[in-house]
Amino acid sequence: MPGYTQPYAAGQTPPPVLPQPYPGYAQPNLGFGSGTPPVLFPGLFGRGQTAGAPAYTSPLKLFQNVSLSHAWLRGDGDNDMRINDTFITTTLAFPNFFWSGQPWFLSPGFGLHLWSGPWTGAAAWMPSNAYSAFLDVGWKSDPNRLFGLELSGRIGVFSDFRNLQNESFRPTGLALLRYNLTPTLALKAGVDYINRADIKLLPAGGFLWTPNPQTRFDIYFPQPKLASYLTTLGNWDLWWYIGGEYGGGVWTVKADSGPEQSLVDINDIRLVLGIEVGPPNAGGAGYRRAFFEVGYVWNRQIVIVTPPTTYDLGDTFMLRAGIAF
């Protein structure tokens, strides 16, 4: 399979040369598909790969980071729901997976979900909290090759821990084929197995265009993102971005009143405007030290499997932030 080296644009500084035998690699993404923590490290699990601008690289070490993020969704009125989602994750990297020259990543994480409401209607019995405990696994082939493959998977327990059953253990996964059409344009196509109660599989794909090192057009379904460089603050680059995602998640829950137990989806669509801080040469797609987002959330639904019910929530706005160290 032929490969090629992506050229550096005028004024762009190449990434540091790494000591052998560790290859350069893009920092991992803590989350993929739907119902996951926000993407702190979007360079690995199908969320875009460098085309025309090299990914941020660093010497490979076992523990890459510990990250913390929190999202708040406003809820007004008795028939709405206020949501607080908090995630803590870490990432372990293992070099040269099956002699591919590329590392594979393990990202264990834990999420706490606090729900307030709705207080009336068919979903009034919803519990006040639920949890997500999961392990992400991801690998991708050499991004400088003409053709490539990106794979990721997740296995986790999603429940309020009062209603543990077989459906509490839910796998998800993502598989993408990548074709570097030009040094600045990469095409991707595949499937995103989100394994929700109402939707199991989504088509995934699009293109990543980096016309220059300061701009990225990641036109990717179901998680598009447009990013642009703003300025440099000390040793960090500041970028702004606009993006979208299919949010929410699925849990098995039990209430004191109402259904004895049920599988519940909380689904929504999100449009976010944010800023992120990371090291130079990350190209808006590599390691993020911190981010802050303001978002608009619509098409919000609670899908209850037993008894079959769909409860509509009102549109709202979201604040979300994260930090890694």
Show the tokens assigned to 155.
């296995």
What is the Cα–Cα distance from 6 to 180, expressed in whole angstroms?
10
Please report, to the nearest 10 degrees, the dihedral formed by the alpha carbons of residues 144, 145, 149, 153 taken in order. Answer: -30
Query: CB 155: neighbour CB atoms within 10 A?
Result: 14
Rounded to 5°, angle at Cα 62 from 57 and 67: 75
Among 270, 283, 277, residue whose Cα is nearest residue 83: 270
Q: Where along the chain do its domains lie? A: 63-324
Residues 6+ apart with CB under 8 A from 44: 26, 27, 28, 29, 105, 138, 140, 150, 152
pLDDT per residue as tens, the chain (325 positions): 333 333 333 333 333 322 222 233 333 333 333 345 554 444 333 333 333 333 334 445 566 688 999 999 999 888 899 999 999 999 888 887 676 778 888 899 999 999 998 998 888 889 999 999 999 999 888 888 899 999 999 999 999 999 899 999 999 999 999 999 999 999 999 999 999 988 999 999 999 999 998 999 999 999 999 999 999 998 899 999 999 999 999 999 988 676 677 899 999 999 999 999 988 866 555 567 899 999 999 999 999 998 889 999 999 999 999 999 8
CA distance 137 to 30: 10
